[in-house]
Each structure stands twice: as C-alpha cells, then as structure tokens.
Amino acid sequence: MVGLSWAERIGVPESFALAGLEMDPARLPGGTGWGELAGELRGYLDALVGVDPPADLVSEMAEQLRSWRERLAAARVPERDQPWGHRVDLPARGQALAPHVEMLDRGDDWLEATVVFGRFHLGGHDAVHGGAVALLFDEVLGRFSDTHGRPAARTVSLDVAFRAVTPPERELRLRVWFEREHGRKRQLHGELRDGDVVCAEARALFIVLRPDQG
C-alpha cells in the first residue's frame, strides 16, 4: 500500500479529493471532529435499534433530537459544501448510511476489504436487510469504478443475488473486481462472504458521465 496517495489508499479517485485541502482535516468541511461525530451517530443508531427503553428515556431522547434538528437547520448548506459523504479522508466518506468498510488490499482492477454490518442494518430474523447489502455493493463498486484515473461514472444497473443470510455484527469479506470496460461502460462484480459461505454476489454496470452530466 506504500506509495499510494491518500485518496488511492482509501479507494477514491483523486478527482473526488477536496481540491487543495487534502490532508489537513481542520480545513475540511466538518473539521477534525467530523469522523468522531459520524462514528458516534453510527453507534447511536446501532444501539437504538437494539433497545426497548423506558418511556421517560424515549421522551428525553426525542426532545434532545428535536433540539438538535432545530439547531442544525440554521447551519444548512448546499450539497457540495456538506461534509457528509464528501469526507473521503474518513471511513465511509464520513457518513453513516453505508456499513463500515476497511480496505485490505487492492490491485489495478480488484479490491479486497472487510465489512461489518451493524444492528442498524438488520432486516429481520437475524439477517441483514437486502437493501443494505445492495447499498454496500453500490457504494464499494461505485467508488472503485472511478479509481486509477478513470472519469466519474454512475450506476445504471445493479443485480444482487442473495445466496445466504448475511449476518450482522460479524466481520465479513468483500471482493470486487472489474470484469469489462468498453466505451463508456464498466462492468464490475462483487462477492460478499462469511468465511467460506457466499452471502451475496453483485454485478453492476456503470456508465461514464459525459462532461455535461458531471
């Protein structure tokens, strides 16, 4: 991994790096505390899903969340200026929507990572929600599609086959790879495993954006 730029290390194209602000988090949207905040939000959602709290605690939480929502309204910015999803220096781009992914290794056209779905991503009966699995593939395949100097593309098709139950709160293995690139089209595949068990496979088609679509 030595020798890769920070954006390459975390699997995003340089073009998505916030121009001129690269490695100084204090100058990035959200500042130095954003990663901790996103992590706490992720942890909060996982904790909330797993409790049956007493009525007074529920009321207190609702009141505090309402208060935060009202305070945040005054700080609203256009999408391009928000740290959420744009902090490519942080795990999961500084957002809590997609599960936490840690890259293990990569080549020019393949990548291996670990992923842990939280309890927040549970669909039911101890299985991760199928939409959350599709979200994982779209996030990782989509970001990897744009690496190694490739121009930005968008998902036009994502087929996911659910082969076995995907368990939450376990370290799973993810492998993604390019299958084909031709013209504006990129076909990528992904496979999610729990040990030797294939939980899900994905095949996705990305279309490179024309300059007027960026």
3 versus 211: smaller Cβ distance to ligand MFK: 211
Nearest to 143 by CA among 114, 104, 197, 186: 186
Nearest to 139 by CA among 119, 162, 111, 118: 111
CB of 209 to ligand MFK, least distance (A): 6
117 versus 206: smaller Cβ distance to ligand MFK: 206
104 versus 156: smaller Cβ distance to ligand MFK: 156
Amino acid at 194: D
Q: Within a 10 A sphere around the Cβ of 44, how many other Cβ atoms? A: 14
Closest residue (Cβ) to ligand MFK?
A: 142
CB of 156 to ligand MFK, least distance (A): 4
H-type helices in 21-149, by residue range? Answer: 34-49, 55-73, 130-145
CB of 51 to ligand MFK, least distance (A): 31
57 versus 209: smaller Cβ distance to ligand MFK: 209
In the chain, DSSP finds a helix count (H) and a strand count (E) of 4, 8
Residues that bind ligand MFK (CB under 6 A): 12, 16, 86, 88, 93, 138-139, 142-143, 154-157, 184-185, 205, 207, 209-210, 213
Please state the separation of Cα 50 from the chain's center in Å: 22
152 versus 165: smaller Cβ distance to ligand MFK: 152
CB of 56 to ligand MFK, least distance (A): 40
Contact 88, 7 (CB under 8 A): yes
